[in-house]
Structures are given as structure tokens and as C-alpha cells.
Structure 1
Amino acid sequence: MASARLVALAAFLLLLLFALGPGEARAADDGEVRALLALGAALDPTGRLLPSWAPGRDPCAPAPSGGFEGVACDARGAVANVSLQGKGLAGTLPPAVAGLRSLTGLYLHYNALRGGIPRELAALAALTDLYLDVNNFSGPIPSEIGAMASLQVVQLCYNQLTGSIPTQLGNLTRLTVLALQYNRFNGAIPASLGDLPLLARLDLSFNRLFGSIPVRLAQLPSLVVLDVRNNSLTGSVPAELAAKLQAGFQYGNNSDLCGAGLPALRPCTLAELIDPDRPQPFSAGIAPQVTPSDGRGNGRVPSTRALAAVVVVAVTLLVATGVGLFALSWRRWRRQRVAGGSPSTISGGRCSTEVVPSAAKASSARKSSSSALASLEYSNAWDPLADARGGLGFLSQDVQLAQSLRISTEEVESATRYFSELNLLGRRGKKAGGLAATYRGTLRDGTSVAVKRLGKTCCRQEEADFLSGLRLLAELRHDNVVALKGFCCSRARGECFLVYDFVPNGSLSQFLDADADTTAGGSGRVLQWSTRISIIRGIAKGIEYLHSTRTNKPALVHQNISADKVLLDYAYRPLVSGCGLHKLLVDDLVFSTLKASAAMGYLAPEYTTVGRLSEKSDVYAFGVIVLQVLTGRRKVTATAQLPTGNVDELVDGNLQGSYSAAEAAMLAKIGSACTSEDPDQRPTMAELLQELDTI
């Protein structure tokens, strides 16, 4: 009897699940559409800037036939990202945004949005990136944001936010970046921010904060940058903080701060020293006045001579302070003239918390030309600076190009989640301090990028060589060449970062030996014949561009072409990567990559005798790739000959006969000619393009 009741109950529950489950899914989908429409109407009250956000459209449909502009959905069809930065939106952020329950990224920076930040944001439990910077938001930060446990990056800088910084932000244990600069916050710095184990950058500059700097901030294990400039902070700076962050600690224009080991600060008095056992936050420096007792309950009255001594000392200190402030103001004025502006600006279209090391200023007078791209100083061999102003040796006509490539170290670190191993795409050079690694990352505007991280021992030590190579990389622009998107250096890290667009389909080598892939019976990544022809032609165009001489671009030999260096975008358009890198890297690292190429069969045989690489060396590697694409195999015979009257033995069997025998024969002929032992017998890339255009 009991078992029968259990069976009936189970059947009822199953029926209930079937009845409610689909209805809830449909309600959730409809709810997200309604939330998006309400969000769009509030962000763009004119209705002119977001025309694709219209009823009846599927927000997740692929462009251009459908979809909402700036909306990205996950595999389940739920809205994952809203990226509407720089659209000129002048509306408000409505509470309806809480209906996007799977949202992980909200990118609304560089607009003119106004009003308050809705407390309903706290309902977005999956949100990791919140970018509301460079708008006109006002009012306080809702304390409810402290319950958003997934948040990793919070950018609220350059707004008109007021009130105090909520202590609840100390609950965001995954937070890595908190940027609140250029607002109107007042009150004390919450000591609870010292409870954020992953916090790497904290920017509170240019606000109205007062009180002391909490000691607990010095105990943050991941903190790299703390910027508290231009506030009204008082009391002593924790000694551990200054020792740990060094140039990463910015504290200027807080006249009542004191501390040891910081040249711009005066020594602290006994009353200003922070008592670590005292509750925080508090206003250090405002100590209770205690009159020493003579033991009988009467305060001692100081003598006239003692009072005179105190007056003399006070006057002396006042004069010294005045002279010091005048000298500091003059020095700051001179520094701003050299730098061309204030220490913190919106530059290159980005909200930056970049560190500006004071050591950079000594070399600025020695630079013959300046650029907004990056600053390099070679006083002690290779020594890149974190500051991104001046001195890269670009000519005046290159300044606009340099400005377009500027990117901050902060953005690189944030994009790669501080170089998380989960984002690592590849690594070369295992020598200590000499790593050259590539990471996948996502910029603040949602753009996917690949970041090449170069340690100082990877880079050429001569300034002229390095700058020449970097200038060359900056000039490379072609539809079949991966272009440099940004560049920056970090003196603190001793590293440079090259930022490229991320190419989503990976390398061509992943499509070779496709029958070894068990996905979909081994044919999941087999390229169609027309796609193979298009890829070969695109690679040829990219290499021919490198070999050609253009305005501001000399002829360039790639030196390391391989299937791994050919990347494919969504439309399977090939892009040749790694162009010109040998101009930046030390010879040892270049040689190690050549050894890897030789092992895979891409290295032209004449290199072993003459020790030089030429355009014909690139042609040889191209011929190997042609044969690889034709056969679908990584391992090919470089001097493969076309079987007499039959190409079936050569062409990839996964095509199952779906190819043109005439075109296959021509590709085999091209591959064979390119891989000739005699470099003089190999055609040029221009000649190869003419032949490929006939296919």
C-alpha cells in the first residue's frame, strides 16, 4: 500500500515537472526579451541608436539577419553579454536589467547615461564584469552590490557618484579591479576592502575621501596598484604598504598624510602613528589632547622659556613647510609640462589606472621624439616603463598610428584575468625570466584578443633594434595578416605586451589529420575543397604582402611560416601570424623557433649551408603548407610528385571525391615547385598568386 502511494506520488511529481518545466523555460526566455526591450528603451529613449532592439526579433539570432546589436548569448540561448560602449546613449540604467539572470558582462562605458545605479543589479548573480565608467551616473553605490559574489571587475570611474564607499564591497571575494576614481565620494576608505584576497588594483583617486589608509590594505596578497591621489586623507601611511607596492602606490595631493620611506611625505608625529589595534576606519592624526598630571590631579603649567621654545620651533617648521610646499608645487608644475598634462587622464579611449613611475621622468629630457604609445628607457639595457607617454622613437607622422595602438597594462592584466593559466594559449622559452607566452583575453568593450607576453630577456637589448622592429609591426596591415592591435610595457614587471585580435577558429594545423579527431566520426573538422582553395590563396596573398615593398613598409621575410602560424577566422579566412616578431626577439629565441620549424619540415634545406633565410625560404614553407592542405596531413614529403594521371593517392580521402582533379593537380604542381631543393628554381609569391588566380 505504501509502495503504491510512493509510485503514485512519483508519477504526480513527474507530471508536474513536465507541466511546469517547459512553461518556466518559455517564461524565462520571454522574460529576458521583455527585460532587453525595457533596457533598450531606457538606455536609448530617442529610439534612434538601437534600431535592432525591436519587438518580434530574436535577440540571439546571428547578425546581420537578426539579433540585438551588442547582445551575445550563451549556448543555452540566454543573454550572457550586453556590450554597448561608446554608442552615445543618454538615457538611464533601469531596474529591468535584473531580468537578464544569466548576464556575465555589462559594458555600458563611454556613454552619457545619467541617473542612479539601480539596486536591482544585485539580482545578477552571474555578473563578473560591470563597466559603467565614463558616464554621468549620480547618487550612491547601492550597498546591495556587495552581495554579487561573482563580480571580478567593477569600473565606475569618471562619473558623478556621491556618498560613501559601501563597506559591503568587502564581501566581493572574487574582485580583482575596483576603479572608483574621478567621482565625488566622501567618508573613509572602508577597512573591509582589506578582505578581498584577489584585489590587484584599487583606484580611489580624485574624490573627497578623508580619514586614514586602513592597515589591512597592506595585507592584501594580490594588490599591485593603490591610487589614492587628490583626496583629503590624513594620518600615517602603513609602512608595509609603501614597501610592498613601491611605484604602484600613488598618494600625491593628500597634504595631511605622513610616513617613513616616502620622499614626498613628512615624518609622522607620535599622535599620527597608526595603532594597529585601533578600530578602522578612523581619522588618524586627531588624537585626544592629554595634559600630563603631576600626580596630584593638577596639570603642570609649562614655563615661559618652554613656551618660547615651542613658538620658535613652530615658526621654523612653518617656514620649512612653506618652502617645501612651494618646491613641491614648482616641481609638479614642471613635471606636468614635461608630461603634457595631468598625471591621470582618459587617454586612448580608455579609463586607465596605469602606474607612472617617477624614474621615468629622468629620461624624458633625453628623448628626441615622443609618442603616446609607450615609453622605453634603456639606461640599463632593456628597461620598459609602465607609463605610456613619450619616447618610443616614432617619427612625427607615426604619432597618430602610435596613439591608436596604445593600451594600458591595467587593461592587459584585466583582459587576461591577470594572466590566468586558464587563458594560456601557448608558451615558448622556458628560461627563467625569459618567458614568451600567449594568452587569450577579453577587453573592456568585449573584444576578444590574444596577448603575447614577452619577458625582458626575450627582447633585443639594443634600443634601435627593438624600436625598429616595433615600428615595423605597427605598419603591417593586410586582410591576410594578423595586425598588431595594441602595445604596452610594464617597468614593474619587466615585460612588454603585444595585443592582437583573437582569431576564433584556431590554427590551420588543427584541421590537419582530421580523421584522428573522434568528434562526429572523425570528420568534424574536415575542410571542404573550396575552403582549402580559398585558404591557400589567402596565405599566398599574406606572404606576398610581406615580401613586397610598400609605403612605410620594407620587404619582410617571415622566417617561421607553418600551419601553426596560419590562423582561421569565423569565415575561414586565413591570417598569417607572427609576422616580424624576429625583429623584436633575441637570436636565441628565434633560433629555438627555427629548430621547431625544421623538425616539422618547414625549414628550407639551404639554411643548413648558408645560415640565412630569404623570401625563397618562405616560399618553401608555403609549399609544405600547400601539400598539407591538399593531403590533409601534417606529415608530407616536401618534394611530393604528382602521381601520373591520378591524384586520388594524394588528395585527402576525407573529401570522398568532392574535389576538382584539375585543381588538385595544379596545387600538387605548385607544392612541388615551391619545395624544390634549389631555391632559384622556386617561384616568387607574386608568380604563385598569378597562378592561383587561375584556379
Structure 2
Amino acid sequence: MKLSLLVLSLLFFFFIHRHRHVHSSAVSELDALMALKASLDPYGQVLTSWARGSDPCTGSSFDGVACDEHGHVANISLQGKGLSGRIPPEIGGLRSLSGLYLHFNALIGEIPKEIGSLRMLSDLYLDVNGFSGEIPPDIANLTNLQVLQLCYNRLSGSIPRQLGSLQKLSVLALQYNLLTGAIPASLGDLASLKRLDLSFNYFLGSIPATLANASSLQVLDVRNNTLSGHVPAGLKRLNDGFQYENNPDLCGVGFSNVQPCPTIYLDRPEPLGPNALSKKNIPESADLKSSCGEAHCPNRLSGRKAGVVLGVVAVIAVIGFAVTGFLTFSWHQHRKQRTPSSLEDSDKRVSSGQVIENYAKGASPLISLEYSNGWDPLAKGGGGSAFSQEVFESFMFNLEDVERATQSFLESNLLEKSSFSSVHKGNLRDGSAVTVKRYAKMSCKSDEAEFLKGLKLLTKIKHENLVRLRGFCCSKGRGECFLIYELVPNGNLLQYLDTKPGSGKVLEWPTRVAIIIGIAQGISYIHEDKGDKPRLVHQSISAEKVLIDHWNNPLLSDSGLHHLLADDVVFAMLKASAAMGYLAPEYTSTGYFTEKSDVYAFGVLVLQILSGKRAITSMIRHGVEACRFEEFVDENLEGNFSETEATQLARIAILCTRDSPTDRPSMRTVVQELNTLISIS
């Protein structure tokens, strides 16, 4: 009995202690979040949902904050929120934080050293802000850090050599800052480093030879610095991944626009002795190894020879001071003549606004994903030959990032599923929402070269009315391929058909007209030669493929998808299209798709949008032909539509759905007529 009471007492004590610990931890995190709010948003105009009386891990409070299964803050995603304050030291209280995304804001001040307390942190995005001061060496304490984005700020000083201890770091982006000094040789010790961008800074000295030995390194960008000396020959393996332009004092063999090194670089003199040169005066990247070894070098400086050598050294020193003065002058001239890039004006540094605008035009900010090596193509080495280096780096995802985005394909993230694919929603490391289309290997083309050709084609399709491809990943081990698209939030057009009044899904007349025009523009783009994109046929246009964004703009999905799917999968998609009435009649006799087949499907879509119905009955068609509005215009509009526009749209629908493909207009003609209609009305 006494033993039972003792056990119960211990259990009770443990429960109380644990409860207090969890409670105090939660309170501590709440205090840290409130301090973060006050400092990041000093005017209280952005983080209005962050309230002390709320729980950051439940409900809709604390916008941008996500918690783990233990109720601790694990992710803060506040990118592009217009924050204008500073990061407070209290950030160090969020000990379970694994992702901190504060990029694309206007934050200022120094990066607090307390960030080094976030031992669970794997992603740190502070790029495109106004941070100043030095990079805190305490970041080296973040042993789980994989991505460090500090680019496009005003950071100064040198790179802490301690960063070389971050063995999980795969991306280090420091471009467009005010950083100086030598490139630390310790960066070559980063075993997982895939991308190192130091461009558009003020670095001096040589490129460390250790970087040439970094086995995982794929991209090294040191453009527009003041680097000099010998370029390590081992960097040739990076091919186009090594960018070094506008460092005129670099020398080496095998690099375009780089002069061969003079003899002084090729045959370095041996050290004069243990006290002749102090290592502390030599940049960290310098090679301090003598050709004969450390302690076993013979003493060649004795007697008169030593005097002669010392005299020579004195002369060299005098010359050195003169050269230094000249180089200093040249350096300042060089800084004035730095070659501008697309992100930098010729006479001033880039602003945060300029960068955001540039990214909005299509550049991908997902640097942590661009350079991942998770791509395991079904073809042996086929990816490198099928894609240029730029495309390869811009669209590659690895399996780990795909699984992380979808929470390992959690059931609650499943949007739709068919016999050959499934679609999941997810969030990338930068916080952006995506859909991941998952295909088994058997659903893809068996010819590996054709499959890769299809993938390459998808990367060339870019239009404001087409869903944008963010990337792809194929895992040979899993036997699956994944296509990652931007998430279009308001569902597909099918959800806006056969709706009831008051459902919130009834589209106003101007919105319907705009959707029709947008779809037409997207299909017209597919049908035309644009740059290196060939003429294409969509083959599976339907209301289900038309997605609607926040502003009710239409985006056509699955463009070009049939070029990488197996024939039986494509045929299954065609059967579904035929069942819904989108399949052009000539396909049953010819078995071929043409651009006019897409035109037919577009005509059916116009009828659906005008009528608000999924099924186009004979009564609707007769009403269109006779221009009886009450028979083909959606009654949910309650007469709020333009009869002129309805008449013209009905005429276009009739032309597009004619039985003979030769009687149908081209999509270019359709777009021209629609534009004329808008200008008239």
C-alpha cells in the first residue's frame, strides 16, 4: 500500500512538473513572439492578428506562424509583408524554430547574435532587406542550417570563418552586400555546399583552393569583386556553374577571358624562415605550404647569401609599397567601372523594391531548391544533355523538398486522385503555396529521351493565363515523378457551373467575359511559335483544367503534359474529355488532334460560361443559334448582362463548335474578335 502511494505521488509530481515546464515554455515563446511583433512591425499595421491573449498554435491568430506537433513555434513565414523594423534579441527564445522567412521586407539594423541560439533552424531567409553591420559568427552554432540567404542587404565586414563548420549547409547566398576581406578557406570544408554566391561585393585576395575540392559544389559565383591571383584549376569541373566576370586580376589556364598567370604565381619562392612572414598578415585563402615540407626544409640562407637575399627582399618591399599604392588607386577606379547586371544600375546599388519587381517578372527566389541534386532522372545522365545549365538549376527539386512541402503526402493535403496520378497541395521553403502532381513511372513515357524532351518543353511554356511550372523531380528509387506548379487558390471553373443563387459561386457578367478572353489568350499562346517554344496542341481543355486565381483570372493547367505521359494515360484523359463533350467530332474518324480540336473545346467552354451549366443541352444550342437570351444566358445573372456582348460571344461559340475543323476560326482570330468586342463595349 505504501509503495502504491509512493508511485502515485511520484507520478503526480512528474505530471505537475511537466505541466509547469510546458506552460512556462509556451509563455516564453509567446513573450518572444510579442517582442518580435513590436520590433518587426513598430507601427502595428501588419501583424494585427498577433495578440497576447491568443494561442499562436491554434485558430487563425498569429498570421505566418506555424507550430510543431508538440505545440512549439516551428516556422515563421512573413516574407513580403512590408515589415520595416528590426529583429529583436528575443528571437533567441524560439528554440524550436526550424524556418525563419523574413525576406522581401524593409527590415533594418544588425542581425542579432541571439539567432545563434536557434539550434533547430534549417532555413534562414533574411534576403532583400536593409540589414547592416557584420554577419554574426554565432550563426556557426546553427548546426542544422541548410539554407542561409543574406543577399541584397548592406552587410559589411568579412565572412566569419566559423561558417565553415556548418556541415549541413547547402546554400550560402551573400551577393549584393558590402562585404570585404578574403574569402575564408574554411568554406571549402562545407561538405554539403551546393551553391555559393559571393557576387557584387568587395572581396579581395585569391579564390581559396579548398573550394575546388568541395565535392558537392555546383555553383560558385564571385562576379564583380576585386579578386586576384591564381584560379584553382579544379573549378573547371563546374563549367557554367563557375561565374567570375569582372575580376580582371584573376589569372589561370582553361578559363575564358582569364589571362595566364605570370611566373610569380606559377613558381612561388619558398618561405624565408619561421619568422620572416607572419601568418596573421596573410589572407586566410593564401597557400602557406612550402614545396619541401614544414620542418625539414634545409636552411639555405646563410652567410653572404642571406645578406643578398635580405637586400633583395628590401628592394621588393619598396616596390611592393609602390605597387600597393597603384593598386589602391586602380581598385577605386575598378569599383567605379563595375559591370552592372540586370539587377544593378550602373551607378548605384540595387534596392529592395527593384529586386522584388525583378522577381515578380518571373525570376525564382527559391535558391534553396534551384540547386538541389535530388533529381535522379529515369535516363542515365540524360538530364544534363536535355537541359541547359540555367534550366537545370532553375527547375530542379529534390525528393526531400517535395516530401517536406507536402508533409510526406499527408492525406489532408490530397486535392484529387485518379488511376494514374494524384495532386497534393503544399508549401515550399519560402512559404509559397504549390500543387504537386505525382505520377508513377508507368504513367510516364517509357522512352527516356522522349520523357526528358517533354519535361524540357514544359519549362518553355510561360504565359499569364497558364499555370506556371515551378519545377520537377523524378526519383528512380521510388519509381515516381513529380511536377510542381504554383497553387491557384480559387478552384477550377467547374465549381462555378450549376451553382445556386446565394452560394457565392455565381460569376458576374464582366468576370465571365474576362475569363473567356483569358482562356482564349492562353490557348492562342500555346498554338503559336514563341521564342524557343514550338507550336503545341493542348488536347485536354475542359472546365476542370481552367483554374481561377484570387482576382478571378483564368489559368489553363496541364499545357503540354501529354508530351511526357504514356499513351494509355493520354487516351484515358481523352475519354474523360469526350464524356464531358469537349472532344471534337473529327477525332473519332482521324484519331488526330489539331489546333482546331482545341478551338472546338474552347467553344464548348464559352457555352458553359454563358449558360452557367456543365451540360450543354440542345435547347441551349438552339437558343444560342436563335439568339434567345432567356434560353442560353445564366438565369442567376437576373438580367444583369450586356446583350451586345452576349450576342457576339454566342456567335463565336457557334463558329468554334462547327463540325468541320476548316470552318472553325483560329485562336488568334478569336482573340482579335474578343479584343474588338471589348473596345466597342
Fold-level similarity (TM above 0.5) = yes
**In the aligned structure 2, how far is the partner of 1:672 from the partner of 1:91?**
56
C-alpha deviation, 1:251, in angstroms: 1.9
Aligned match of 2:113: 119
Whether the aligned pair in 2 keeps the contact of 1:560 and 1:593 (CA below 8 Å) is: no
Aligned match of 2:530: none
Which of the residues 569, 572, 576 maps onto 1:596? 572
**In the aligned structure 2, how far is the partner of 1:617 from the partner of 1:353?**
33
Whether the aligned pair in 2 keeps the contact of 1:104 and 1:127 (CA below 8 Å) is: yes
Shift of the 235–177 alpha-carbon distance from structure 1 to 2, 3 Å rule, reads same
- When normalised by structure 1's length, the TM-score is 0.57
Shift of the 385–350 alpha-carbon distance from structure 1 to 2, 3 Å rule, reads same
**In the aligned structure 2, how far is the partner of 1:686 from the partner of 1:536?**
20
C-alpha deviation, 1:178, in angstroms: 0.8
Aligned match of 2:232: 238
Equivalent runs, 1:540-559 vs 2, <5 Å = 559=539
Shift of the 213–77 alpha-carbon distance from structure 1 to 2, 3 Å rule, reads same
Equivalent runs, 1:400-549 vs 2, <5 Å = 442=427, 445-450=430-435, 457-458=453-454, 470=462, 473-474=463-464, 476=465, 483-484=467-468, 500-502=485-487
Aligned match of 2:98: 104
Whether the aligned pair in 1 keeps the contact of 2:546 and 2:554 (CA below 8 Å) is: yes
**In the aligned structure 1, how far is the partner of 2:301 from the partner of 2:40?**
71
C-alpha deviation, 1:35, in angstroms: 0.9
| CA displacement 1:207-244 (0-9 Å, x = unmatched) | 33333322222233332221122333333111111x12
Q: What stretches of structure 2 of length at least 5 have no aligned partner?
A: 272-278, 293-297, 313-318, 366-384, 410-420, 439-449, 473-481, 527-536, 639-681
Equivalent runs, 1:380-399 vs 2, <5 Å = 386=390
C-alpha deviation, 1:36, in angstroms: 0.8
Aligned match of 2:32: 35
Q: SS at the partner of 2:19? A: helix
Whether the aligned pair in 2 keeps the contact of 1:293 and 1:299 (CA below 8 Å) is: no
**In the aligned structure 2, how far is the partner of 1:294 from the partner of 1:31?**
66
Equivalent runs, 1:317-336 vs 2, <5 Å = none
Shift of the 568–98 alpha-carbon distance from structure 1 to 2, 3 Å rule, reads farther
C-alpha deviation, 1:587, in angstroms: 6.1
Aligned match of 1:169: 163
Q: SS at the partner of 1:165? A: coil
Equivalent runs, 1:634-653 vs 2, <5 Å = none
Q: What stretches of structure 1 of length at least 5 have no aligned partner?
A: 308-313, 355-380, 388-408, 427-435, 477-481, 489-496, 512-528, 626-665
C-alpha deviation, 1:248, in angstroms: 1.8
**In the aligned structure 2, how far is the partner of 1:233 from the partner of 1:109?**
29
Say if 2:255 is the partner of 1:262: yes
Which of the residues 197, 222, 225 maps onto 1:228? 222
Say if 2:241 is the partner of 1:248: yes
Shift of the 466–172 alpha-carbon distance from structure 1 to 2, 3 Å rule, reads closer
**In the aligned structure 2, how far is the partner of 1:341 from the partner of 1:443?**
34
Whether the aligned pair in 2 keeps the contact of 1:230 and 1:253 (CA below 8 Å) is: yes
| CA displacement 1:630-687 (0-9 Å, x = unmatched) | xxxxxxxxxxxxxxxxxxxxxxxxxxxxxxxxxxxx99x965959x9xxx99x99997
Which of the residues 32, 54, 58 maps onto 1:57? 54
C-alpha deviation, 1:196, in angstroms: 2.4
| CA displacement 1:99-136 (0-9 Å, x = unmatched) | 22332222222333333222221222222221222333
Whether the aligned pair in 1 keeps the contact of 2:395 and 2:471 (CA below 8 Å) is: no
**In the aligned structure 2, how far is the partner of 1:11 from the partner of 1:101?**
32
**In the aligned structure 1, how far is the partner of 2:559 from the partner of 2:112?**
47
| CA displacement 1:53-105 (0-9 Å, x = unmatched) | 33323434544xxx134333445543333233344433321111122233222
**In the aligned structure 2, how far is the partner of 1:542 from the partner of 1:452?**
29
Whether the aligned pair in 1 keeps the contact of 2:545 and 2:558 (CA below 8 Å) is: no
Q: SS at the partner of 2:75? A: strand
Aligned match of 2:213: 219
Q: SS at the partner of 2:204? A: strand
Whether the aligned pair in 1 keeps the contact of 2:124 and 2:149 (CA below 8 Å) is: yes
| CA displacement 1:469-509 (0-9 Å, x = unmatched) | 64xx32x2xxxxx7448899xxxxxxxx9974325899999
Whether the aligned pair in 2 keeps the contact of 1:116 and 1:140 (CA below 8 Å) is: yes
C-alpha deviation, 1:38, in angstroms: 0.8
**In the aligned structure 1, how far is the partner of 2:554 from the partner of 2:71?**
33
More divergent stretch after superposition (279-288 vs 605-614): 279-288
Aligned match of 1:47: 44
**In the aligned structure 1, how far is the partner of 2:170 from the partner of 2:84?**
29
C-alpha deviation, 1:195, in angstroms: 2.7
| CA displacement 1:380-419 (0-9 Å, x = unmatched) | x9987849xxxxxxxxxxxxxxxxxxxxx877658x7897
Shift of the 421–34 alpha-carbon distance from structure 1 to 2, 3 Å rule, reads closer
Percent identity among equivalent residues? 38
C-alpha deviation, 1:466, in angstroms: 10
**In the aligned structure 2, how far is the partner of 1:255 from the partner of 1:531?**
69
More divergent stretch after superposition (188-197 vs 573-582): 573-582
Whether the aligned pair in 2 keeps the contact of 1:234 and 1:284 (CA below 8 Å) is: no
**In the aligned structure 1, how far is the partner of 2:346 from the partner of 2:503?**
50
Shift of the 146–335 alpha-carbon distance from structure 1 to 2, 3 Å rule, reads closer
Shift of the 6–266 alpha-carbon distance from structure 1 to 2, 3 Å rule, reads farther
Aligned match of 1:189: 183
- One-letter amino acid of the counterpart of residue 238, structure 2: L
Which of the residues 139, 144, 147 maps onto 2:141? 147
Say if 2:18 is the partner of 1:21: yes
**RMSD value over aligned CA atoms?**
6.2
Whether the aligned pair in 1 keeps the contact of 2:173 and 2:197 (CA below 8 Å) is: yes
- One-letter amino acid of the counterpart of residue 141, structure 2: A
Q: SS at the partner of 1:82? A: strand
Whether the aligned pair in 2 keeps the contact of 1:567 and 1:577 (CA below 8 Å) is: yes
**In the aligned structure 2, how far is the partner of 1:274 from the partner of 1:438?**
61
Aligned match of 1:690: 634
**In the aligned structure 2, how far is the partner of 1:199 from the partner of 1:440?**
29
| CA displacement 1:423-452 (0-9 Å, x = unmatched) | 6999xxxxxxxxx99997756752223489
**In the aligned structure 2, how far is the partner of 1:68 from the partner of 1:337?**
37
Aligned match of 1:72: 66
Shift of the 421–503 alpha-carbon distance from structure 1 to 2, 3 Å rule, reads same
Shift of the 253–687 alpha-carbon distance from structure 1 to 2, 3 Å rule, reads farther
**In the aligned structure 2, how far is the partner of 1:21 from the partner of 1:445?**
34
C-alpha deviation, 1:245, in angstroms: 1.5
More divergent stretch after superposition (52-61 vs 211-220): 52-61
- One-letter amino acid of the counterpart of residue 259, structure 2: R
Aligned match of 1:560: 540
**In the aligned structure 2, how far is the partner of 1:618 from the partner of 1:216?**
59
**In the aligned structure 2, how far is the partner of 1:558 from the partner of 1:337?**
34
**In the aligned structure 1, how far is the partner of 2:459 from the partner of 2:153?**
39
Say if 2:606 is the partner of 1:609: no
| CA displacement 1:514-556 (0-9 Å, x = unmatched) | xxxxxxxxxxxxxxx9899979988x99999776588966779
C-alpha deviation, 1:688, in angstroms: 7.2
Shift of the 108–339 alpha-carbon distance from structure 1 to 2, 3 Å rule, reads closer
Q: SS at the partner of 1:217? A: helix
Whether the aligned pair in 1 keeps the contact of 2:184 and 2:284 (CA below 8 Å) is: no
**In the aligned structure 1, how far is the partner of 2:105 from the partner of 2:518?**
42
Shift of the 120–265 alpha-carbon distance from structure 1 to 2, 3 Å rule, reads same
